[in-house]
Structure 1
C-alpha cells in the first residue's frame, strides 16, 4: 500500500517569505496585456463577488499563517515569551500531533519495506501485516486531531492579530512546497478576480475576439509559410545562380588553360614535324648510303671474281703453253734415236709424277 500521502516535509526552509496582497482589488498587472482582453472594470461591484474574494483571501491568509508553524518546531526558543501562553500551548499541541503523524507515516513506510523483503516468510509476514493494519487504523484519528489542532491554532491567531503579526515577523521562512502552494493560490485568486470582473457579454465578446485572433493568426501563419517557401525557393535559385557563376568562372579559366595548351600543342606539333622531316632526310641519306655501300660491295665482289677468273685463265693458258712446248722437243729427240725417245719418256713421266 502506497504511503506517499503521509509523507510531510518540514515547512521551514530559509528566509524567503512571500508578502501576499490580500485586497479585493485588481492586480497591479493584468493577466493578459491585450487591450480587448482586459476587463473594463477595476473593482468588484456585487456583494456576491466580494464575498467570494473575501473567502479566498481569508484562505490564503490562513495558509500563510499555518505554514509558519514549522519554524517554531525547528526553533523552539525563538518565540518563547513572545506569544501568549494559551497560543503557545495550542501551537505545541498542534506540533505534537504533526510529529506523531510523521512518525506513524515513517513507521508504516519502514514496515512496508520490510514486508517486501520478507515476502517469503509467511508467519512473520502475517504478523507484521497485522501490526500494520492496527497502526493504519489509528491514522485517521491522528489526522483528525491534526485538523482540529490546526483549526484551534487559526482561531487563536485570528482572534489575536498582534500575535499573528509577531509570528509573521519572528518566523521569516517556509518550505519550498508551502511557498509554491501559496503562489498557486495567489495566481488562482488573480484568475478568479479577473473572471468575476467580466460580465457574460464581455465573456462572449472575449471569446469572439479570441476566435478572430486565432483566425488571423492562422492566416498570418499561412502567409508566413508561403513567404518562407518562396524565400526558400528563391534562395535555392540564388544558390543555383552563385553555383552557375562559379561554374562559368571555372569554365573560363579552363578555356584559357585549354587555349594555352593548344598553343603549346601547336608549337610542339611544328617542332615534331620538323624533327620528323629531319629524321626522314637522315633516314633517306642513310638508306642511300647503305644502298651505295651494297652496290660498291657487289661491284668489288664482281671485280674480284673477274680478276680471279682472269688470273685462273691466265695461269691455265700459261700452263698449256708450257706443256705444248715441252712435248715438241721430245718428239725430235726420239726421232733421232731410241735412247733419246726413251729418255724423253722417262723425263716426261717423271714430270708427270711431280
Structure 2
C-alpha cells in the first residue's frame, strides 16, 4: 500500500505534464474544420436544400445542351421526360421571341397545371402585360415538371457525366458560382466548432501581427541595403575621382 507522502508528488508530476487542450491549427489549413460530418439535423436539412438548389440550377443550364444533343441521352432519359424538355424549350423560345401565347396553346394545354390563361388576366393591366404574367406562370410550371422528372430517378449524375465526357458542360454562370460559394461557406460554418472558431480568430490575429512585424523588418533591411549601396557608390566615385586626378 502506497503512502500519502509518495502519492502526492506523483500526482503533482502528472498534473504538471498535462498540457491544455488546444487545436494547434496549421496556418495552411486554417479554414479546414476538424469535423467532416454535420452533427445536427437542422444543419443537415439546410445543406440538403442548398445541394438541391445547386443541382436544379445546374440542370436548368444543361437543358439547351440536352435538347441539342438528344441522341446522347436516349439510354438515360425516357421519351416522356424528353418530350417535357422539348416542350419547355419551345415555351421558353416563344417567350424570348415575344410570340403570342396563343401560338403555343398546344404546349401549355399538355401541362399538368394547365388552366385557361385568360383566367389569370387582370382587367386593370394591358393584354401584353397579362400575357407576360401568363407566360411566367407556365414557364415556372414547365420547369418544375422537367426538374421533377429528371431528378425523380437520380438522372442528374448520369446526364452530367455524359456532358462532361463529350465536353458539352456549359460554363457556370456568375449566379451559380456565387451559389456554390454560399453553399461551401455554409458547410464550413456548420462544421466549425466554437473552439475552432476562437482558435481561428487567434491564429488570424497572430498572423496579422507577424505579417506587420515582417513588413517592418523588410522595410528596415531594404533601407539598410539602400544605404549600403549608396555608400559603396560614393566610395567608388571618390576612388575613381582620385584615380583620374592622379593620372
> TM-score scaled to structure 1, two decimals?
0.48
Q: Conserved in 2, the CA contact under 8 Å of 1:157 and 1:164?
A: yes
**TM alignment of 1:131-170, pairs within 5 A:** 135-161=128-154, 163-164=155-156, 167-170=159-162
Structure 1 vs Structure 2 CA RMSD: 2.8
Q: 1-side partners of 2:93 and 2:181: how far apart?
A: 31
Q: 2-side partners of 1:35 and 1:82: how far apart?
A: 41
Q: 2-side partners of 1:54 and 1:167: how far apart?
A: 20
Structure 1 residues 247 and 134: alpha-carbon distance in aligned structure 2, compared to 1, 3 A threshold: farther
Q: 2-side partners of 1:142 and 1:64: how far apart?
A: 22
**TM alignment of 1:80-229, pairs within 5 A:** 83-104=77-98, 135-161=128-154, 163-164=155-156, 167-172=159-164, 173-178=168-173, 181-229=175-223
Give how far 1:205 is off: 2.6
Give how far 1:81 is off: 7.7
Match of 2:42 in 1: 48
Q: Conserved in 1, the CA contact under 8 Å of 2:88 and 2:139?
A: yes
Q: 2-side partners of 1:91 and 1:37: how far apart?
A: 41
Describe the SS at the equivalent of 1:68.
helix
Describe the SS at the equivalent of 2:139.
helix
Q: 2-side partners of 1:165 and 1:217: how far apart?
A: 45
1:184-232 Cα offsets, whole Å, 9 max, x none, are 4434333222211112332233222212221221122122112211211
What 5-or-longer segments of structure 2 have no aligned partner?
A: 1-25, 100-125
Query: Which deviates more from structure 2 when the two are superposed, residues 135-144 or residues 147-156?
Result: 135-144
Describe the SS at the equivalent of 2:36.
coil
Query: Which deviates more from structure 2 when the two are superposed, residues 150-159 or residues 73-82?
Result: 73-82
Q: 2-side partners of 1:36 and 1:194: how far apart?
A: 11
Count of residues in correspondence between the two structures = 193
Q: 2-side partners of 1:151 and 1:212: how far apart?
A: 50
Give how far 1:152 is off: 0.9
Q: 2-side partners of 1:215 and 1:92: how far apart?
A: 60
Q: 2-side partners of 1:229 and 1:73: how far apart?
A: 66
Q: Conserved in 1, the CA contact under 8 Å of 2:160 and 2:169?
A: no
> TM-score scaled to structure 2, two decimals?
0.66
Describe the SS at the equivalent of 1:104.
coil
- Structure number with the bigger relative contact order (C-alpha 8 A, sep ≥ 6) is 2
What 5-or-longer segments of structure 1 have no aligned partner?
A: 1-31, 106-132, 254-354
Structure with the greater alpha carbon radius of gyration: 1
Flag the structure with higher helix content.
1
Structure 1 residues 198 and 238: alpha-carbon distance in aligned structure 2, compared to 1, 3 A threshold: same
Structure 1 residues 239 and 191: alpha-carbon distance in aligned structure 2, compared to 1, 3 A threshold: same
Q: Conserved in 2, the CA contact under 8 Å of 1:104 and 1:135?
A: no
